[in-house]
Amino acid sequence: MDLQFRPENAHTVTYGGGKILVAAKSMALFAMDPVAEAVLRYAQAHPRCSVDQVTQALAAQFSVQEVAETIDEFVRLHIFLPAGVASAGARLPSLDVERFPLTSLVLNITNKCNLHCTYCYEPEEAKYGPAAVQMDLETAQASIDFLWQRAGKSREVNVIFFGGEALLNFPLMRQIVTYAQAKARASGKIVHFSLTTNGTLLTDEIIDFFQAHRFGLTISIDGPKDLHDKRRSFLTARGERKGSYEMILPRIRRLLARYTARPVVARVTLTKGTIEIVRIYEHLTDLGFFEVGFAPVTAASGAAYGLEPVDLRHVLDGFRELGARYVARALRNQYTGFSNLSALLTDIHQGTNKLFPCGAGLGLLGVDGNGDVYLCHRFPGIEEHKYGNVAEGLQYDRLNAFINGAHIGQKPVCQTCWIRGLCGGGCYHEAYTQFGDGALPNLHYCAFLREWTEYGIGVYMELQQKNPGFIQTWVLRGRGDVPRELT
Amino acid sequence: MKHLQAVNQKAEVVETTQAAESQTSTEDVVGLAQPLGCTTIYNPGWEANAWGGVNAMCAPMEADLLGCANVCWWPAQVPDSLQNYPEWAKACSGLNQEDWRNLEVVFPKVR
């Protein structure tokens, strides 16, 4: 049989203990025996070959049967295909978004914000002044009704509060929680609440409210005072910038002391000059955060705070340094709250193989203060990705057109990449900001993510070999496998 | 898999699926080349008649059972009329559309 080698479906990662084959079509990971390694090496040098040629070339080391079996196994993984068969990525399903249950709704309950973080993606007019929108009760209830209508048979739904600074509309938050919980009781569904906040408005009353309703909490904080205050500042009436760290520190301490319902996560936005990964991690965990998630800032090119390739290199080095601590602690059965690595290890373990970068438009939608529905919480204000209104319904033809156009198979550059199943092309908003088109892949992160994933595979192998079970017990997160207390 | 050892959960799933598939034929599916069974006969209860009449439609599932067991055998879950329940379809002449009304009720034998 004549064969074609499909290199995009076979990537090898070398780590301390050996070599791993990533069968990228399925994101299954394998260890290879000497026959498999030899066949793969031959294929890499001779991408168009026949079974006979491979067998002959390796006849000195391996029997005909061994080679034939190995080729057969590679064919099953689409690492070889019969010559002439079209590349296996070709056929694209036509998804009907309307048949997808909606499980997460992000409510932008206010556009207003009391901070003036320099890197915020929300436009100035949206946050300050007369144009800033506060969601009203009627719209909020319509949004909750919308979530329930679209949730289908899902047993659990997620209501996520966002802004601006969501706590500026705390009274509405209370009302929404009451309303949603009544619907949950009546329908037999479970509703979870979460919130991202800048922390400036936390009070005991608010903290106790979160405790009572088991809110998943994320605090936006960029690290120790000097790093945090670089970007996350107040703007005084006189036009002066004043860092917010001193203001939020006591409030965060109070929160972490008083709130015990769920682990609290720190979300760090990485910008130029604030990329000291280990230092940031240690500072925040010393404060008492259970976990730290690092997010490189989304910036249009040319922004002063944006990350350039030299900065991404520094970030990756920092991630590796923190990763080394993660591994050392894991070998002592201690969990390290480095979100990025835990999420990566989860994806590697499960063999996550996504067709889309995220659930936006499918299982998750964003609603702004007017009840207008967007792809996700980052898109309010961007007309192109407004798909309707909670009271009037969605324009499914337009949403379907976008989602089907955003399928990984529609991204030609991605077809040769071995991490396409993990990445899916990357965040729509990031792509929109960089390139003006949400359906394009995030080419500025390809090298970063490939290196990060290789690193993650090395960590995965080391942990599985030296402390098997650690990942299953401590790391698998929020995808059904892990006790809720650890997510 | 003999030459590849699964390392992550997805690989285990792939291996299990492959093992199950290799129990059956791995050849391509080939379309049936000739009509068989009930595709060769006119079986009222399924179809409008030759004149487009629908009076034979909406027969209950017993009609289907009888048709599958007697006229055209396929693995429908009918009582075993060879050994254990020879009376099941005894009263059905096989000649008219209302035969299914004469099916007996059977109960599993308790050993």
Q: What pLDDT was estimated at residue A167?
A: 97
Q: Which residues contact A176 (CB under 8 A, 6 or more apart)?
A: A107, A109, A140, A141, A144, A159, A161
Q: Which is higher by pLDDT, A62 or B19? A: A62
Same domain, A369 and A229: yes
| Residues A354 and A422: beta-carbon distance below 8 Å | yes
The per-residue pLDDT for range A99-150, each reduced to its tens digit, is 999 999 999 999 999 999 999 988 787 788 777 889 999 999 999 999 999 9
The per-residue pLDDT for range A312-321, each reduced to its tens digit, is 999 999 999 9
What distance in Å separates residue B4's CA from the closest CA in chain A? 5
Same domain, A352 and A300: yes
Chain B residues with CB under 8 Å of A77 CB are 4, 14
Same domain, A275 and A169: yes
Structure confidence at residue A210 as a pLDDT band (50, 70, 90): very high
Residues A326-330, mean pLDDT to the nearest whole number: 97
The per-residue pLDDT for range A163-207, each reduced to its tens digit, is 999 999 999 999 999 999 999 999 999 999 999 999 999 999 999
Same domain, A134 and A245: yes
Is A439 touching B (CB cutoff 8 A)?
A: no
**Residue A426 falls inside a structural domain:** no
**Residue A214 falls inside a structural domain:** yes
Is B5 touching A (CB cutoff 8 A)?
A: yes
Q: What pLDDT was estimated at residue B56?
A: 67
Structure confidence at residue A487 as a pLDDT band (50, 70, 90): very low
Same domain, A224 and A359: yes
What distance in Å separates residue A5's CA from the closest CA in chain B? 17
Chain B residues with CB under 8 Å of A70 CB are 2-3
Same domain, A280 and A319: yes
Handedness of CA A99, A105, A106, A109 (dihedral sign): positive
**CB within 8 Å of chain A, chain B residues 10-39:** 10-11, 13-14, 18
CB-CB under 8 Å, A350 with B3 = no
Same domain, A135 and A223: yes
Residues B83-89, mean pLDDT to the nearest whole number: 78
Residues A243-272, mean pLDDT to the nearest whole number: 96
Q: What pLDDT was estimated at residue A246?
A: 97
- Owner of token pair 């994101």: A27
Q: Which is higher by pLDDT, A210 or B95? A: A210
CATH number at residue A55: 3.90.930.60
What distance in Å separates residue A67's CA from the closest CA in chain B? 9
Residues A35-54, mean pLDDT to the nearest whole number: 96
**Residue A77 falls inside a structural domain:** yes
Q: Which of B28, B64, B80, B99 is catalytic?
A: B64
Same domain, A183 and A37: no
Q: A365, A383, A401: which is the final residue of a domain? A: A383
Least confident among A200-209, A318-327, B9-18, B24-33: B24-33
| Candidates A26, A35, A461; nearest CB to B14 | A26
Interface test with A, best of B5, B7, B15 (most A CBs within 10 A): B7
Closest by Cα among A84, A78, A139, A87 to A110 = A139
| Candidates A73, A351, A460; nearest CB to B1 | A73
The per-residue pLDDT for range A77-107, each reduced to its tens digit, is 999 998 887 665 555 778 899 999 999 999 9
Q: What pLDDT was estimated at residue A486?
A: 37
Q: A82, A111, A129: which is the final residue of a domain? A: A82
CB-CB under 8 Å, A464 with B13 = no
A284: its two tokens:
């925040």
Residues B73-95, mean pLDDT to the nearest whole number: 74
pLDDT higher than 70, residue A1: yes
CB-CB under 8 Å, B8 with A349 = yes
Same domain, A129 and A68: no
For the question of residue B64 being annotated catalytic, the response is: yes
Instruction: Please give the single-letter amino acid code of residue A438.
Output: G
pLDDT higher than 60, residue A481: no
User: Distance between CA A257 and CA A289 in Å, rounded?
Assistant: 10
Q: Which is higher by pLDDT, A335 or B87? A: A335
Q: What pLDDT was estimated at residue B108?
A: 75
**Residue A201 falls inside a structural domain:** yes
Q: What's the first-to-final CA gap in chain A, in angstroms?
A: 50
| Residues A95 and A401: beta-carbon distance below 8 Å | no
CATH number at residue A361: 3.20.20.70
Q: What pLDDT was estimated at residue B85?
A: 80
DSSP B59-71: --HHHHHHIIIII
Is A80 touching B (CB cutoff 8 A)?
A: no
**Residue A218 falls inside a structural domain:** yes
The number of domains in chain A is 2
Residues B2-10, mean pLDDT to the nearest whole number: 95
What distance in Å separates residue A388's CA from the closest CA in chain B? 38
Average pLDDT, chain A: 93
| Cβ-based contacts under 8 A for chains A and B | 66
pLDDT higher than 50, residue A483: no
Q: What pLDDT was estimated at residue A400?
A: 95
Q: What pLDDT was estimated at residue A131?
A: 74
Q: What pLDDT was estimated at residue A77?
A: 94
Same domain, A126 and A33: no
**Residue A345 falls inside a structural domain:** yes
The per-residue pLDDT for range A386-428, each reduced to its tens digit, is 999 999 999 999 999 999 999 998 999 999 999 999 999 999 9
Same domain, A27 and A148: no
CB-CB under 8 Å, A69 with B3 = yes
**Residue A470 falls inside a structural domain:** no
Interface test with B, best of A20, A41, A76, A346 (most B CBs within 10 A): A76
Residues B70-87, mean pLDDT to the nearest whole number: 71
Structure confidence at residue A480 as a pLDDT band (50, 70, 90): very low
**Residue A421 falls inside a structural domain:** no
How does A304-326 read in b/e, with b if 16+ C-beta sit within 10 Å? Answer: ebbbeeebbebbbebbbebbeeb
Q: A53, A82, A111: which is the final residue of a domain? A: A82
What is the 8-class DSSP label of residue B90? T
Q: What pLDDT was estimated at residue B101?
A: 82
Predicted structure pTM score? 0.83
Structure confidence at residue A477 as a pLDDT band (50, 70, 90): confident
Q: Residue A33's closest chain B neighbor by CA?
A: B3
Same domain, A196 and A285: yes
Which residue range is the domain that position A71 belongs to? 2-82
Structure confidence at residue A482 as a pLDDT band (50, 70, 90): very low
